[in-house]
Amino acid sequence: MGYSEKLIFFTVLLLIPLSILTILVSGQTPPFNFTGFTRYTNGTPMPEVNITMILYNMSTGFNEIERYSTLSDSDGFFNLSNITFYEHDIMYKPIIIKYSSTNPIRAEYIGQTLPPFPPQELQNLHNVTFYLKEAATLNITAEGRRQHLDEAQIIFNQTIPDYSIGLEWDWDNGLWAYENSSHLVKLDRGFSYVSSFETNISSVMDIEYTGSDTWYFINHSTSPPYYTYVTKISGGSVVNYTNLTYRNYVSIEGLEYNPNDGLFYVSGRNQMGNTTIDKYNSSTFELIENLTLDLPPGKLEIQNGVCYLAGEIPETYALLKCDCNTFQCYDSWNFTKPTVDGLDYNGTWYFASRNDSSINEIRLFDDGTKTFRYQVKDTRLGYPVDENFERTFNQTFVYVPADRNYSIMIYPEGAMPSNYDLNNISDYGPSPLINIHFNVTEEPKWVYGYVTHPGTSNFDSFIVIPYLLEPGNMVFDRPMPYNMSAWRWPRASDYFNNTYNSTTCFYNMTIPGSAMGTNILLFAMARNESTGTGYFGAFKTLTVSASSPENIRVDFTLQPLVGTLSSISMEDAGNWGNTKYITTIKKRFRLRNASGTNAPGHAHIEMEMDYTSLGGPSFTWMTDVESDDNGIFEVLTLNAPVKRVNVYSQDFAPKKDYISVSELASDPTEILLNEFRPGGPGGETFTDIMIDMVKSAPECDVPNYDRGVCSLFPEQVDMEHFNPLSVIMGGGHISFVMRKNSNNITVHYVDVDMFASGPPDALFNDSASNDLSGSTLEQAWRFGSMGPEIYDYVIIGIPYTEANATQTGINDSEPITVNIPVFYDNDWNVTWQMGVNETTNLTGTDYEEYTQDPYAAYINGSNVTCNTTDTNLTGLCYADTVMNMIWLRIPHFSGIQPNVQGEALKANGESCTDASECYGGYCVHGYCRSSSTYCGDGYCEGGEDCDNCPSDCVCYTPPSSGGGGTGGTTTPGQSHLWTLITPGAAQIMKVNDPETGLKQIQITVKNQATNVRIRVVKLEGKPASIEHELTGKVYKYVQIEQENLNENLDKAYIDFAVPKSWIANNSIDPEKVYLNRYTNQWERLNTWRTGETDDSNLYRAETPGFSYFAITGETLEETTTPPAPEEESQPETQPETQPEETLQEEVTPEVTEKTGEEQRPFDPMILVWIIVPALIVLGVFYYLYQEQQKKSVKWNK
């Protein structure tokens, strides 16, 4: 099969067909109007813009049936009126272009490239505002190797009234000559008469010119008795003649001289009715050779050692191309006229016909101009902005926005597809006309090599299958034809075939190489039923061009394939119209929704495979899922992770994911799609999400943009009323903003292409987790998005807690810094952690851009300092100290944890050791205050008296002290938060308060844990709720609380210190000091002495959990048999004359334990904060198009 068959194959390589939404409507709908305005990007009116609506019939293959056009007026207003509303099968495509007034084929400005819409989407849209951008006009043409025409094409025709026979080119004088029955007539190149001389030869059958004004005429009687003569005339005079009557010709057709062998060739028919070619000596006309042919006799022409015979075959005349030695013919062209009476070549082919007395210039091969189908893609987004596969073009003009880069692919007739990357439109000047000329000349190349697999010496079968590799290393799931060796020339039926030897594992196949280069993905697949799954595969890429070596070697090392039994269908190049089915295994995937059922509807899938670790390439499979596929699709997959999968669906949010090897083991592997609905990873929902679309411009892509200037909505809208189709259709650069009204958390996607997909989703916490460590307050957030990057970058706005008298927070008069210590996957599993992983571990991942400037400061430990004056966010971080917001610029995110850090100032009532820690400026008896004294702290001082502070100052004789009880007052506690703990990694909390007796707590966990908090509170005595007594002397009581640990605790060690003075004063055996834990009763823990300092003995105990603890010691005279309980020793006693009321204050948090004594009531004027961080991860998805049956096809690629 030849080039026509190749055309059929390559024109079906449609990369991403538009999903067509055809809605059936009953009844007759009246015509509708399409109205709106055309604007420059700055909003001023743009007049004289051409608005065209083209209607396509989808049931007959995207054929145009109608079009409507109008121009916008001086205000930019337009009205396309009375557009027919078809009930079904018809799609409507708007085109918005302002053409040049001086060159009507060149566009100056262009609107958003729009897909076809069903009429229901357009009939209720009114006054759509189109923002036009500068346009580029692409003039696409193609040429290639001159190719054989089936029919000799007449490109010039000249009538010669007296023409009789013959046609010869006098190369000495540059003249044409023919016989008019009595004279040899000469014409110039324009076929004007020049001269003639009389020949006086009757019944001339053909003429031949041999140079130096020497001519030969062969004449033959047309009825018996037959005679044949050859007459030589030079300078207008007869030199001699030769009688060939003895050859008994019945007819004579041609006479030709062959300069290669010096012989004259005579074409005629003998008395037996056979065609003969007689070869004669040129000087004596002695017969040298006679050939009898199964061909018609005809006019002869010899060029470059090749013989051409123009004779009558059944029903037509044809020009045959033959071998001069054997006259075996191997090519032919049909003539469009019934007779050929003269034939010659002077660099161009000409023939003469008595039928209409004409001389005709003909072409046997085309001029190299190729007709083609085409597709133009936006290289950033990967979807077509213009394409046509319904008909062919030899030239086409494509109009595109000039601010993007494009990949142009053509599918020429009879040649390999070819592509060109256009990424420098700005070099051509404003609104350029760019000529893009493709050279699709190609040469077939042999690609050969061996396939191997460790431990396998041969296979039951194997094959190498080629796929066309498109720009961006993308591969549509349709292979090139089987056995393209059959397209090699000459096309002997069994001469050229691909070779696959299963024993030696050698292959040899043909790949056409184009002049501009053809990128190919080769898939080698072998089957060996005795090994594992039985199917193995490998991938390699190569570029084959017309100038590549004739033989190209590519070897494969095979790896196991994963999946279930399937097949690959290939068109058979050697037997066109037949299909070859190659048995293999493919991996099955299933798109499902949140309820677990198959995801319905259409979807476009892109699966990025990275096989570089296996010696293969990186590339991306493209495939489509239709509504009747039930969400199932298949892909050729090696036993290696899928680096990335993008899913674009008209019914769900776009999805970006990673698939591990373990996930590939399930059949089918499921990919979860979520609808556009606000919510968090745990199923929480937000009801206060506001959506805005703004112009993507320097003044609008900022933290606090002016809605009156930037918003594309007249008013900010809520989700229930959000229908942005008219805004998106308007084009221009659009940014997409989501904001949570309750706390102003903001995600601002800059320059989003809404036709590449549905809107990008976002997940985020609605509050931060706080960690106060020393003088630093750290607030941690989590942000994530499961969608592909269809935007330039992201602006994130997060609130921070500013310190004041009633809340501990950040002192924003001091520097605030931000880092991103953790990256997550789509399931919020940690994939990278600062201090645990190196930044080099991010190479080749979605987060690689964070390793490069300027974003590297987020993750390399240097931290990003927030600028308090950078209101336009020209850097990475802006701290808005008026609105208490931190604004970050990031490249993208799947899941990140930005941490905001700043100097902490504590609220009044928080524990302190120095006034510098306190917002109020004073640290009074260990608590932050706004003045040097505080009424209610139990101290009568600094001007306090019984009149102004009766709670602290006693002006009467105090009563005698009351009795009993082992209760006591509490002191401030200390807490520590771990945002992430991995199994096996010991985590240590240093205890800074010596009053607790503790030095540190060390824990390990069984499983990964997040947001673990441990809090230590010193108790003044045994809690009143505990009735059980302890053995021995009690040194300290302490309470240890935990959050998010529970049964996940693996091991815990508590280090504590006991003063030597206490041991000596109480006659304690230093080797019998213990840590005791209370659950339902006191339990003595395994405790051992670890060392000593000058003042204390050091101990460590192992505990299975946390609750109340007591440090005890046994006296030297105690025996192993526990004596009767004795009264517990208290480290401190309350004075008998303590005030009637005592305020118990807490810090992070402080804990109050009731004693046996009656507790004093809370002072209502004191604000007590109980800070219990609870990290609630909330996500916001937003579905731009609520009526899903009305979604535009370009939203889902």
| Domain locations in the chain as residue ranges | 7-144+371-438, 148-365, 440-582, 704-747+759-905, 974-1115
Three-class DSSP category at 1063 = helix
SS3 content of the chain, % helix, strand, coil (to 5): 5, 50, 45
Cis previous bond, 225, omega within 30: yes
What are φ and ψ of residue 1104, in 5° steps?
-85, -5
- The answer to whether the CB of 123 falls within 8 A of the CB of 116 is no
Q: What is the mean pLDDT of residues 307-334?
A: 90
Dihedral sign, CA of 927, 933, 936, 938? positive
Q: What angle do CA 277, 283, 285 make, to 5 degrees?
A: 35
Q: Are strands 128-143 and 433-439 parallel, antiparallel or unpaired?
A: parallel
Q: What is the mean pLDDT of residues 917-928?
A: 92
- The answer to whether the CB of 898 falls within 8 A of the CB of 885 is no
Separation CA 245–CA 255 (nearest Å):
15
pLDDT, mean over the chain: 82
Residue 962 confidence (pLDDT): 37
> In whole angstroms, how far apart are CA 14 and each of 77, 398, 465, 622, 792?
37, 18, 19, 11, 28
- The answer to whether the CB of 1005 falls within 8 A of the CB of 981 is yes
Q: What is the mean pLDDT of residues 1114-1131?
A: 52
Which range is least confidently modeled, 644-658, 757-771, 862-876, 1142-1156? 1142-1156
Three-class DSSP category at 661 = helix
Separation CA 781–CA 767 (nearest Å):
7
Residue 1164 confidence (pLDDT): 29
Q: Which amino acid is at 438?
A: F
Predicted confidence (pLDDT) at residue 999 exceeds the cutoff of 70:
yes
Q: What angle do CA 969, 970, 972 make, to 5 degrees?
A: 155
- The answer to whether the CB of 1068 falls within 8 A of the CB of 1116 is yes
What's the maximum distance between 2 C-alpha atoms anywhere in the chain? 168
Structure tokens at 331: 């090519």
Cis previous bond, 1059, omega within 30: no
Dihedral sign, CA of 556, 562, 566, 571? negative
Partners of 694 in beta bridges: 711, 735
Q: What is the mean pLDDT of residues 269-290?
A: 94
Predicted confidence (pLDDT) at residue 758 exceeds the cutoff of 60:
no
Q: What is the mean pLDDT of residues 994-1018?
A: 91
> In whole angstroms, how far apart are CA 401 and each of 116, 280, 697, 995?
18, 70, 17, 72
Structure tokens at 122: 């357009």
Separation CA 606–CA 611 (nearest Å):
16
Partners of 890 in beta bridges: 794
> In whole angstroms, how far apart are CA 778 and each of 338, 646, 857?
95, 35, 17
Q: What is the mean pLDDT of residues 1166-1175?
A: 25
Q: What is the mean pLDDT of residues 395-405?
A: 93
What is the pLDDT confidence band of residue 741, given thresholds at 50, 70 and 90? confident
Structure tokens at 628: 């009747």
Q: What is the mean pLDDT of residues 947-964?
A: 54
Predicted confidence (pLDDT) at residue 404 exceeds the cutoff of 90:
no
Predicted confidence (pLDDT) at residue 645 exceeds the cutoff of 50:
yes
Dihedral sign, CA of 26, 28, 30, 33? positive
Separation CA 772–CA 906 (nearest Å):
10
Partners of 289 in beta bridges: 279
What is the pLDDT confidence band of residue 492, given thresholds at 50, 70 and 90? very low
Separation CA 909–CA 932 (nearest Å):
13
Predicted confidence (pLDDT) at residue 1097 exceeds the cutoff of 90:
yes
Which range is least confidently modeled, 98-107, 649-658, 721-730? 721-730
Separation CA 557–CA 450 (nearest Å):
9
Residue 968 confidence (pLDDT): 37
Structure tokens at 612: 């570089």
Structure tokens at 538: 């490998």
Separation CA 1046–CA 884 (nearest Å):
36
Go through the chain and tell me how many residues it has: 1197
Separation CA 110–CA 250 (nearest Å):
73
Predicted confidence (pLDDT) at residue 1169 exceeds the cutoff of 70:
no
What is the pLDDT confidence band of residue 730, given thresholds at 50, 70 and 90? confident
Q: What is the mean pLDDT of residues 157-182?
A: 96
Separation CA 136–CA 113 (nearest Å):
13
> In whole angstroms, how far apart are CA 985 and each of 159, 328, 591, 690, 989?
99, 85, 38, 42, 13
Separation CA 663–CA 660 (nearest Å):
5
Three-class DSSP category at 647 = strand
Q: How many CA atoms lie within 13 A of 1166 on its CB side?
A: 20
> In whole angstroms, how far apart are CA 149 and each of 335, 345, 368?
11, 17, 11
* Architecture of the domain defined by 974-1115: Sandwich (2.60)
Q: What is the mean pLDDT of residues 636-655?
A: 85
The model's pLDDT over 109-146, given as tens digits with 9 standing for 90+, comes to: 999 888 888 898 888 787 889 999 999 999 999 998 88
The model's pLDDT over 52-79, given as tens digits with 9 standing for 90+, comes to: 999 988 877 778 899 999 999 999 999 9
The residue written with tokens 């000039």 in the block is 402
Q: Distance from first CA to last CA of the chain, Å, rounded? A: 35
DSSP at 196: E
The model's pLDDT over 743-755, given as tens digits with 9 standing for 90+, comes to: 888 889 898 876 6
Category of 288 on φ-ψ map: left (φ > 0), alpha (ψ -120 to 50) or beta: alpha
The model's pLDDT over 764-784, given as tens digits with 9 standing for 90+, comes to: 655 656 665 655 566 566 565
> In whole angstroms, how far apart are CA 322 and each of 325, 326, 494, 651, 654?
9, 8, 21, 63, 62
Helices (H) and strands (E) in the chain, counts: 6, 81
Separation CA 97–CA 108 (nearest Å):
8
Give the per-residue SS3 of 1132-1192: CCCCCCCCCCCCCCCCCCCCCCCCCCCCCCCCCCCCCCCCCCCCCEEEECCCCCCCHHHCC
Predicted confidence (pLDDT) at residue 537 exceeds the cutoff of 60:
yes
What is the pLDDT confidence band of residue 262, given thresholds at 50, 70 and 90? very high
Predicted confidence (pLDDT) at residue 231 exceeds the cutoff of 90:
yes
Q: Which amino acid is at 93?
A: K
Separation CA 63–CA 40 (nearest Å):
32
Q: pTM higher than 0.85 for the full model? A: no
- The answer to whether the CB of 217 falls within 8 A of the CB of 265 is no
> Where does residue 392 rank: exposed (0-12), middle (13-18), buried (19+ CB within 10 A)?
middle
Q: What is the mean pLDDT of residues 164-174?
A: 96
The residue written with tokens 């990275």 in the block is 610
Options 1.20.120, 3.30.40, 2.60.40, 1.10.3470; which CATH number does 440-582 get?
A: 2.60.40
Q: Which long-range contacts (CB under 8 A, 24 or more apart) does 848-855 make?
A: 849/891, 849/892, 850/820, 850/823, 850/891, 855/890, 855/891
Q: What is the mean pLDDT of residues 525-543?
A: 85
Domain covering 148-365 assigned CATH 2.120.10.30 in the classification? yes
Which range is least confidently modeled, 729-738, 802-811, 984-993? 729-738
Q: For residue 302, count other CB atoms closer than 10 A to its CB.
A: 17
> Where does residue 1141 rank: exposed (0-12), middle (13-18), buried (19+ CB within 10 A)?
middle
Does residue 502 or residue 87 have the better pLDDT? Answer: 502
Percentage above 70 pLDDT, the chain: 83
Separation CA 313–CA 761 (nearest Å):
71
Residue 1150 confidence (pLDDT): 37
Structure tokens at 47: 């007049």
Q: At 933, which helix (H) or strand (E)? A: none
| Contacts (Cβ under 8 Å, ≥6 apart) of 1174 | none
- The answer to whether the CB of 814 falls within 8 A of the CB of 1013 is no
Predicted confidence (pLDDT) at residue 679 exceeds the cutoff of 70:
no
Structure tokens at 927: 């608590």
Predicted confidence (pLDDT) at residue 530 exceeds the cutoff of 90:
no
Predicted confidence (pLDDT) at residue 681 exceeds the cutoff of 60:
no
Separation CA 135–CA 111 (nearest Å):
9
Residue 1152 confidence (pLDDT): 34
Predicted confidence (pLDDT) at residue 84 exceeds the cutoff of 50:
yes
